Amino acid sequence: MKSLLNWLDHRTGFRKLAREVLYENIPGGARWRYVWGSTLTFTLFVQFVTGVVLWMAYAPSAQTAWESVFYIQHEMWGGWFLRGLHHYTAQAMTVLLVLHLMQVVIDGAYKAPREVNYWFGVILLFLVLGLSLTGYLLPWDQKGFWATNVATSIAAITPVVGPGVQKLIVGGPDYGHHTLTRFFALHAGVLPALIIALLAGHIYLFRRHGITPKEPRRKPDAAFWPDQVLMDAVACLAVMATILFLVIRNHGADLGAPADPSEPYSAARPEWYFLFLFQFLKYFPADTEIVGAMIIPGILTGVVMIMPFIGRWKLGHRFNLGVLFGMIAGASLLTYLALAGDAKNPEYQEAVKLATREAARVKKLAGSLSGIPATGAVSLLRSDPLTRGPKLFARHCASCHRHGGGDGMGNPVTDPISAPDLGGFASREWIGGMLDPERISSLHYLGGTKFKAGKMVRFVKRDIANYDEGQKESLRKVILALSAEANLPGQRAVEKLDATLIMEGRNLLKSEAMRCTECHSFGKPNEDATAPDLTGYGSRQWLIELISDPSHVRFYGSRNDRMPSFGQDKILDRQSLELLADWLRNDYYQP
């Protein structure tokens, strides 16, 4: 063993290298304030390890990026944990970079002869921020997509070259496959390579000039090993413990709904450490964004870069400290303003709530037996009645109708209700209420319409109100039969059990005794019908046709009360009509 090591040492000189690494002199002995550089190297190591494995499972394209991240997060062994580590270590890195910079400036470690090393450090800071910016887009979820969209749009305001630069970053005029391939190449290739090169230079220069001792020296000089290594290891452990706490508490990193260029996400915010820049831009009116986005940050970066020269004078060092703390205080204030602004912005809260709901929904759909189609997870949401239905309802229906008292999205409506509440439409409960003398003329049913004193209301209030027990029994069967016409997925099980009652109800519906067919058609066309057709009442086809054209003779004809012909007049396309009908019938995937 010994001779083998001797042979290796002769060929490589590893013993000298190890000695130099381990027994570097620390003037004044080991101190806690020297740990920041090591914690940063450690976090970088974590990012390389976790990043390479994530790379093995990530597929950068508009139809596979979110999907592969979903697969990592929810299907692969420990995937959520790995992704969580990568995500929170990135955040820890940003914090540690600021701490490292503060320690360097406070201790005057940027002064001669260490200027070049200081510049390496500042460039490394920007490269790591570049990793954050590019990494934020890679999951291709709504928040990453729309927040990065803002960042690349800002690049476009650069004078002269802006539009070209933006096209080069985005990989074309619009976000798509090449945006991801380019961001990924930057994130996993170009930036890490630059970081390794600069870090090697940074550590080389650090070793060349040695540590900047903090005066007064409290102890005699000592070697790096083991005292400083132990302190560094304890600091790394503390960093790792913090990261683990965040990963486990939040169950890994968040994954929003897949990016949808047709659904702007108004709560898109950059990662928290870029919030100050985001907030800063609010104070620059049109045509002056460039001042906030480039000129001021550029000047401040310039000041940071020339700090080693300013710091030659005693007063200059104090100036540097003032600038650094001023920048940190300013950034903190702006971050606070951004967070406080969002906290009391109801529209932002609304958008976040909706985004959370859609993210949860798409994960359920993606986890269903049919999986994710090749067109990507975004098509799952686009064709999901539970996602699209409420939005369509809120936009097109809720100014007159309600759904469970609200606009379908769970929000109250200010317009007065002037058409039936369609929550549970065509269910036994709903039809029962329609045929209830107490309820038919309430706002929930016909109270808001011009039919509130019509034939139907009169029939229910005069005839049904005076039914004897036998007639009431018949009415119950009619309700079951009419509700069965809708073939609602939620009632299929009970309808199987009630098959005979439904059969009897159907015959009663047709009978003269129940008087339904005096105005309605049922089972066969009735030329004298003046009220909506009850054949297939509430079924998918019936609903689509009703919404499409309520003024058709089959439904309300010329008696139609204000309801637009959504399909006939091309207000809604075929798919939207279907989504609306399916949602009203609660006909969608439920795990």
Partner 1 sequence: MDATTNTPVPTRRNFFKETLAAALGMVVAVIPGLAGLAVFLDPLRRQGAAGGRLIRVAAIGAIPADGTPAKFAVVADKTDAWNKFTETPVGAVYLRRVGADKIVALNVVCPHAGCFVSLQKSGKDFLCPCHDSRFELDGRVTSPSSPSPRGLDSLEVEIRKDEIWVHFQNFQPGKREKVPVG
Does residue 371 touch partner 1 according to CB under 8 A? yes
Looking at the DSSP bridge assignments, the partners of residue 26 are 222
Task: State the SS3 of 1-13.
Answer: CHHHHHHHHHHHC
Does residue 129 touch partner 1 according to CB under 8 A? no
Cis amide linkage into residue 192, ω under 30° from 0: no
Q: At its nearest, how many Å lie between partner 1 and the CB of residue 274? A: 25
Query: How do beta strands 222-223 and 25-26 pair?
Result: antiparallel
Does residue 234 touch partner 1 according to CB under 8 A? yes
The stretch near partner 1 (CB under 8 A) out of 19-27, 301-309, 310-318, 396-404 is 19-27
Does residue 31 touch partner 1 according to CB under 8 A? no
Nearest to 265 by CA among 129, 392, 148: 148
The stretch near partner 1 (CB under 8 A) out of 38-46, 184-192, 331-339, 557-565 is 38-46
Site for partner 1 in 249-308 (CB under 8 A): none
Query: Three-state SS for 506?
Result: helix
238, 337 in Cβ contact below 8 A?
A: no
Q: Which of 27, 437, 447, 454 binds partner 1 (CB under 8 A)?
A: 27
Give 71 or 284: the residue with its C-beta nearer to partner 1. Answer: 71
Does residue 195 touch partner 1 according to CB under 8 A? no
Does residue 148 touch partner 1 according to CB under 8 A? no
Looking at the DSSP bridge assignments, the partners of residue 423 are none
In the block, tokens 């590019």 appear at 134
Task: State the SS3 of 519-559.
Answer: CCCECECCCCCCCCCCCCCCCHHHHHHHHHCCCCCCCCHHH
Looking at the DSSP bridge assignments, the partners of residue 522 are 524
Residues, the chain, total? Answer: 591
Does residue 229 touch partner 1 according to CB under 8 A? yes
Q: Which of 95, 98, 123, 223 binds partner 1 (CB under 8 A)?
A: 223
Nearest to 88 by CA among 247, 249, 241: 247
The stretch near partner 1 (CB under 8 A) out of 135-143, 305-313, 363-371, 485-493 is 363-371
The stretch near partner 1 (CB under 8 A) out of 362-370, 452-460, 520-528, 583-591 is 362-370
Give 47 or 166: the residue with its C-beta nearer to partner 1. Answer: 47
Does residue 40 touch partner 1 according to CB under 8 A? no
* Distance, CA of 108 to CA of 10 (rounded, Å): 41
What own/partner pairs with CB < 8 Å and gap ≥ 24 does 417-422 have? 417/443, 417/448, 418/448, 418/449, 418/562, 419/448, 419/449, 419/561, 419/562, 419/563, 420/444, 420/445, 420/446, 420/448, 420/449, 421/445, 422/393, 422/397, 422/584
Site for partner 1 in 61-100 (CB under 8 A): 64, 67-68, 70-72, 75-79, 81-82, 85, 89
Q: At its nearest, how many Å lie between partner 1 and the CB of residue 311? A: 20
* Distance, CA of 425 to CA of 542 (rounded, Å): 12
The stretch near partner 1 (CB under 8 A) out of 129-137, 207-215, 395-403, 459-467 is 207-215
The stretch near partner 1 (CB under 8 A) out of 185-193, 323-331, 366-374, 391-399 is 366-374
The stretch near partner 1 (CB under 8 A) out of 46-54, 135-143, 462-470, 539-547 is 46-54
Does residue 233 touch partner 1 according to CB under 8 A? yes
The two structure tokens encoding residue 42: 């450690």
Q: Which of 35, 324, 366, 457 binds partner 1 (CB under 8 A)?
A: 366
Does residue 589 touch partner 1 according to CB under 8 A? no
In the block, tokens 């001669």 appear at 112
Q: Which of 286, 374, 493, 513 binds partner 1 (CB under 8 A)?
A: 374
Q: Which of 40, 50, 271, 481 binds partner 1 (CB under 8 A)?
A: 50
User: Which residues of the chain form contacts with partner 1 (CB under 8 A)?
Assistant: 19-20, 23-25, 27, 42, 45-46, 49-50, 52-54, 56-57, 64, 67-68, 70-72, 75-79, 81-82, 85, 89, 207-211, 221-223, 225-227, 229-230, 233-234, 236-237, 240, 244, 366, 369-374
